[in-house]
Amino acid sequence: MVNVKPSMRLKVKKGTFFMPESNGSVYFRNNAGSFRMEGKAIQQWVEKLVPMLNGEHSMADLTEGLSLPYRTRVYEMAEVLYTNGFLRDVSEDRHHELHPEVAAKFASQIEFLESFGDSACFRFQQYRQKKVIVVGEGDMVIGVVSALLTSGLAGVHVIITDENESSRRRVRELEAWARESDPEAAVSLAMENPFSWTDEIEPYEAVFCASHKDQHEEREAVLKECHKKQKWFIPILCSGTAGFAGPMEEPGSVPCFESAWRSLHTQEADKEAAERSISSPAAAMLTNVAVFEWFKKVTGVPDVHPSNHMFVLTNETLEGKWHPFKPNPLVTGSIAAERVENVLKETKEKEENQEWLYYFSEMASGPLGILHRYEEGDLPQLPLSQCEVQAVDIQLVEPHPGIICAAMTHEEARKEAGLAGVEQYLAPLKQDILNALEAAKDRGGRLYLGAGESGTRTAISRALTNMLEENWKTQVNEEKGTPARLELRKVEDERCRLYYQALTTMNKEPELGIGEDAYGFPVVWIKNRNNQWYGTVGFTRTLALREALRRTLVEAQNNTTFPEASTVSIKEFKKGLVLLVDVPSCESDDPEVLQSVIERIKRSHKDLSFIKVTMDPFKDDGIIDLFGVVVSKEESG
């Protein structure tokens, strides 16, 4: 018996449940775990011993007068229960000065704390002494004050930011109600207006900010002062359709609220309901969730949601859930970029890995994912699988447009959509990424980003592809020479063959042309459903043809015209010239193809470099890589 000593005053933890079983054993369970106790007449022993383990008697007192075998049995059972986390030693509790009436009134809070550690009364006493200020208006601020007083906090300072006299009256009523059973309860109201946040926040340890979702300036001012003064910041926001609680920020912790705020999806429904106030039941739920989380945190209860989660409540249905969010690089400042020499040597061949599928789904989960939309929706799935993606605007300017990605299989389409969504998310940060480079000349260059599976050449290939396509869209009138008509002979590339066959089956056999862009890369021209010609540039003739056929097939499948295609209303071809070509197989991440592309681009752009980007929220995941192609300002044309 090494754990249980005679001086211990053991008490059964709250939430403990035991039940005799038919085989003679006894089943124990609480919030820490469960186990079975077996032995001769164990049920009778448990029924006699457990009620005595109430913290009022030491083990020496309990076993006084018992014979040695009985005393040994009591110690053995106490040892098992104590080791498994079902008993605690009351004699080790720290001294407290709680008034008996206060301890009785808040007995449920103290019992809850007992389930997660010792010295529950002392910890609750410390909680009551916390200095808290509540900033807000309407039902939200009333709900916070009510929840804090109900939780056991003795004093609350309140700043009501609107001119509604009824809110002040209700705060006074709450104070009077609380003092009926807790004489120490006190609520003070700030009377001056406007407020000096620096002076108001200084005396307090924690700030509850309960405001409408659109009150940015007030909330940012409070948050700034909390960071400066090392105070707790607990936000509670509401809009016409939803409410948000958390994430709370500890003094000195990494800022997380702004990351969550920037992750919220802006929806038209929110704009339409902006004038509607949150319902009283919803406000009560939100404020109680926020107060309970802070109560657990400051009293040392381990069951607290991580700082990268926010509670989201639907106003109409009162359905609420904690949702994760990713750190925002503009908030954390975690944006790094470095030049990479011999970029192709740093990569490897693709491997079969399904981890990315769960990774992108996680990015789109809930209302705080960085992908606002990542789904098939109503898109037709034959002959090509399709997935639409729309990234959250990291700068909160305006929503990005949706991107439709199509591929041969469902998984390929979702993968393409996920990578396209990441690139769309990063697009507004191009200058921030360039500013992270050491060389001053690179900071004024033009950046083309690509995302891909970690360690592979996909990100490099996509960055180069994005560069070619963006340049092609701006230089479509600089095509070298006049294109020729194109007819296909032997098509070895599987995707080109399948795309062509699908178009033929749909009675949309394509008309094709072939030319070159300003840098000498092949451009395949194809006539769309409006009898307009648009060109698609690629690393090779096969890749340009594949993309042209894919876009045409998607256009026919969706009965739309690709808005992103570079179109020309009339295209002249060399009269009487028709090129008959074979279409060999080719992959965009083939190292020889990429090396050839790099050399060709460098002949036009002498100062071209590759960079590897490391930034939140992708840097610690190990799932995707981010690469960029930088062309100096003088060379970017």
Give residue 547's identity as a one-letter amino acid code. Answer: E
What are the residue ranges in the chain where pLDDT is below 50? 1, 267-269, 272, 565-570, 635-637
Max distance between CA atoms of the chain, in angstroms, equals: 116
Do 154 and 302 reside in the same domain of the chain? yes
Task: Tell whether 342 and 214 lie within a shared domain.
Answer: no
Q: What angle do CA 358, 361, 364 make, to 5 degrees?
A: 155
CATH of the domain at 45: 3.90.930.60
Say what the pLDDT of residue 562 is: 59
CA nearest 544: which of 597, 610, 501?
A: 597
569 lies in the same domain as 596: no
For residue 481, the model assigns a pLDDT of 59
Give the length of the chain: 637
Return the exposure string of 243-252: e unless at least 16 CB atoms fall within 10 Å of the residue's CB, then b.
bbbbbbbeee
pTM for the model stands at 0.78
312, part of any domain: yes
Q: How many CB atoms lie within 10 A of CB 109?
A: 20
Residue 613 CB neighbours (<10 A): 25
For 514-527, what is each residue's pLDDT tens digit? 887 667 788 888 87
Which amino acid makes up residue 447?
L
What is the C-alpha to C-alpha distance for residues 241 and 455, in angstroms, rounded to an integer? Answer: 43
Same structural domain, 183 and 244:
yes
pLDDT score for 171: 86
Q: Are 540 and 620 members of one domain?
A: no
C-alpha–C-alpha distance, residues 594 and 587, integer Å: 10
CB 532 within 8 A of CB 541: no
pLDDT at 278: 76
Q: Tell me, yes or no, whether 569 lies in a domain.
A: yes
Beta-ladder partners of 625: 452
Check if the beta carbon of residue 483 is closer than 8 Å to that of residue 513: yes
Give a yes or no: residue 469 inside a domain: no
Residues 248 and 339 in one domain: no
**Residue 2 confidence (pLDDT):** 58
Within this chain, do residues 206 and 285 fall inside the same structural domain, yes or no? yes
Residues 260 and 175 reside in one and the same domain? yes
pLDDT at 292: 94
In a domain, 518, yes or no: yes
Q: How far apart are CA 168 and CA 175, in angstroms?
A: 11
Question: Domain tally for the chain?
Answer: 4
pLDDT for the residue numbered 1: 46
Is 107 inside a domain boundary? no
464 within some domain: no
**Domain co-membership, 275 together with 137:** yes
Residue 100 lies in a domain: no
At 635, is the secondary structure helix, strand, or coil?
A: coil
Distance separating alpha carbons of residues 434 and 104, to the nearest angstrom? 62
Say yes or no: 144 and 52 in one domain: no
Give residues with Cβ within 8 angstroms of 16, minimum separation 6.
28, 29, 30, 86
Regarding whether 404 and 363 lie in a shared domain, the answer is yes
CA 564: distance to chain centroid? Answer: 29
Closest CA to 218 of 252, 195, 188, 244: 195
Instruction: Check whether residue 181 and residue 291 sit in a common domain.
Output: yes
Residue 351 pLDDT: 60
- The reply to whether 191 falls in a domain is yes
Q: Are 332 and 263 in contact (CB under 8 A)?
A: no
CATH assignment at residue 185: 3.40.50.720
Dihedral pair phi/psi, residue 579, rounded to 5°: -95, 125
HSE-up of 404 (CA within 13 Å, CB side)?
A: 23
Q: Per-residue b/e over 416-440, b at no fewer than 16 CB within 10 Å?
A: bbbbbbbbbbbebbbebbbebbeee
Range of the domain at 552: 484-583
